Amino acid sequence: MTQMSYMEAIRDGMRVEMKRDSGVYIAGEDVAQFGGCFGVTAGLYDEFGPDRVMNTPISEAVIVGHAVGAAALGLRPIAEIMFVDFMGCCMDELHNQAAKMKYMFGGKAKVPMVVRTPCGAGLGAAAQHSQCLESWFTHIAGVKTVMPGTAADAKGLMIAAIRDDNPVMYIEHKQLLGLTGDVPDGEYVVPLGKADIKREGSDVTIVAWSWMLQKSLAAAEKLAAEGINVEVLDPRTLVPLDKDAILKSVSKTGKLVIVHEEIKTSGFGGEISAIVAEEGFDYLDAPIKRVAAPDTPIPFSPILEQTFIPSEEKIIEAVKALF
């Protein structure tokens, strides 16, 4: 184990795979000498050179489009999009090309590419640079969606994403980049589609991912002081989703709160809620609660932005409402 930040863990995962497989490379805006907008690729250019860590034009369509072609021809590109908000500029390349090639070529084509992109509010970056949009990608058949909430998972899921033969959206939260934790050394792999119980509990299940995982864990500790024992489950990957783990937890606790930073309407929490309602209704002793952002663009004003972001207090309130 080594203590490292979430950002360093992502970098370490990429480094492990770049050393192991010469077909793995990184491409994106300012990812080379500059080290990327948030410094995640810092040092990799010096280590692997310009053929493995390369700057691209300021064009999301070019970044993702080139990755589709390179992956189809046998390489394993890691394409960085500077903010998830900009994915709208390259959705055709993702949802009409990368996601459908394997199906349309009868399984003969592989598209082993990773799109890395940061999400989330809290930095005062306003409406066009602060969104969580994971449900966009979970709605595309053929694309996998990964959202790590700890440093160890950031590394293990990165390695798994690079090794996968399908296009993977790897969404990292800006607020987590400095989060530190113990990270296994070497080739540490967290399988896609395997949830993790981050806190055992018996009274209520919270399902949360990315930054909201950390807020939910903090809320669970406060609730414990009041005699409410919360189980916190991190799906880690939204597609594939470990629904068996979610149903098993709900069958134990009888109550479910889903927490995410996306706006509530059509957020991925609605999908989890539907799965539990359809396949685990008899487990429930109370209605399912969702804690999510309001249906509004993200404000620039610090006070309004903090009101927009789901808080520990809102999570605690939702849990208490079930009793």
pLDDT in tens, 215-238: 999 999 999 999 999 999 999 999
Q: How far is CA 59 from the centre of its chain?
A: 23
| Residues 272 and 146 occupy one common structural domain | no
Report the distance separating Cα 167 and Cα 142, nearest Å: 7
Three-state DSSP at 237 gives strand
What does the CA dihedral 76, 49, 170, 172 come to, rounded to 10 degrees?
A: 170
Report the distance separating Cα 35 and Cα 117, nearest Å: 14
Q: What is the pLDDT of residue 136?
A: 98
Q: How many residues does the chain have?
A: 323
What's the whole-number average pLDDT of the chain? 98
| Residues 229 and 264 occupy one common structural domain | yes
Residue 260 belongs to some domain of the structure: yes
Which residues, listed in sequence order, are joined to residue 63 by a DSSP beta bridge?
none
Residue 188 belongs to some domain of the structure: no
250 half-sphere exposure, CB direction, 13 A CA radius: 28
Residue 76 pLDDT level (bands cut at 50, 70, 90): very high
Q: What is the pLDDT of residue 141?
A: 97
Picking from 183, 208, 239, the residue at the C-terminal end of a domain is: 183
Picking from 155, 183, 211, the residue at the C-terminal end of a domain is: 183
Residue 105 pLDDT level (bands cut at 50, 70, 90): very high
Residue 77 pLDDT level (bands cut at 50, 70, 90): very high
Residue 215 belongs to some domain of the structure: yes
Q: Find the mean pLDDT for residues 30-42.
A: 97
pTM score of the predicted model: 0.97
Count of structural domains within the chain? 2
| Residues 15 and 142 occupy one common structural domain | yes
Helix H, strand E, coil C: the string for 107-122 is CCCCCCCEEEEEECCC
Q: What is the pLDDT of residue 67?
A: 98
| Residues 152 and 13 occupy one common structural domain | yes
Report the distance separating Cα 310 and Cα 30, nearest Å: 32
Residue 275 pLDDT level (bands cut at 50, 70, 90): very high
Tally DSSP H helices, then E strands, for the chain.
Answer: 12, 14
Q: What is the pLDDT of residue 203?
A: 98
Cβ atoms within 10 Å of 41's Cβ, excluding its own: 27
* Single-letter residue type at 207: V
Residue 279 belongs to some domain of the structure: yes
Q: What is the pLDDT of residue 269?
A: 98
| Residues 272 and 152 occupy one common structural domain | no
| Residues 160 and 220 occupy one common structural domain | no
- Contact indicator for 149, 95 with CB cutoff of 8 Å: no
Q: Longest Cα pair distance anywhere in the chain, in angstroms?
A: 58
Residue 171 pLDDT level (bands cut at 50, 70, 90): very high
| Residues 134 and 217 occupy one common structural domain | no
Q: What is the pLDDT of residue 99?
A: 98
Buried b (16+ CB within 10 A) or exposed e, 98-118: bbbbbeeeeeeebbbbbbbbb
Name the token pair of 73.
Answer: 């021809």
Residue 100 belongs to some domain of the structure: yes
| Residues 134 and 249 occupy one common structural domain | no
Q: How far is CA 228 from the centre of its chain?
A: 28
Residue 189 belongs to some domain of the structure: no
**What is the gyration radius of the CA atoms in the chain, in angstroms?**
19
Picking from 183, 207, 225, the residue at the C-terminal end of a domain is: 183
CA distances in angstroms from 34 to 23, 60, 61, listed in the order given: 22, 18, 21
Q: Give, for 302, the enclosing helix (H) or strand (E).
A: helix 302-308
| Residues 69 and 213 occupy one common structural domain | no
Q: What is the pLDDT of residue 224?
A: 98
| Residues 61 and 171 occupy one common structural domain | yes
| Residues 157 and 37 occupy one common structural domain | yes
Residue 278 pLDDT level (bands cut at 50, 70, 90): very high
pLDDT in tens, 202-217: 999 999 999 999 999 9
Backbone φ and ψ of 159, nearest 5°: -60, -45
Angle between helices 312-320 and 211-224 (to 10 degrees): 60
Q: List the catalytic residue out of 66, 95, 129, 173.
A: 129
Q: Positive or negative, the Cα torsion across 40, 179, 145, 37?
A: negative
Report the distance separating Cα 284 and Cα 268, nearest Å: 20
| Residues 135 and 201 occupy one common structural domain | no
Q: Catalytic: 129? A: yes
Residue 191 belongs to some domain of the structure: no
Q: What is the pLDDT of residue 256?
A: 98
Residue 75 pLDDT level (bands cut at 50, 70, 90): very high
Q: Find the mean pLDDT for residues 62-69.
A: 98
If you ran DSSP here, which 8-state letter would residue 193 be given? T
Q: What is the pLDDT of residue 315?
A: 98
Q: Find the mean pLDDT for residues 147-175.
A: 98
Q: What is the pLDDT of residue 179?
A: 97
**136: CB partners within 8 A, 6+ apart:** 87, 91
Residue 184 pLDDT level (bands cut at 50, 70, 90): very high
Domain CATH code at residue 87: 3.40.50.970
Share of the chain above pLDDT 90, in %: 100
Q: What is the pLDDT of residue 34?
A: 97
Which residues, listed in sequence order, are joined to residue 69 by a DSSP beta bridge?
none
Domain CATH code at residue 308: 3.40.50.920
Domain that holds residue 279: 196-320
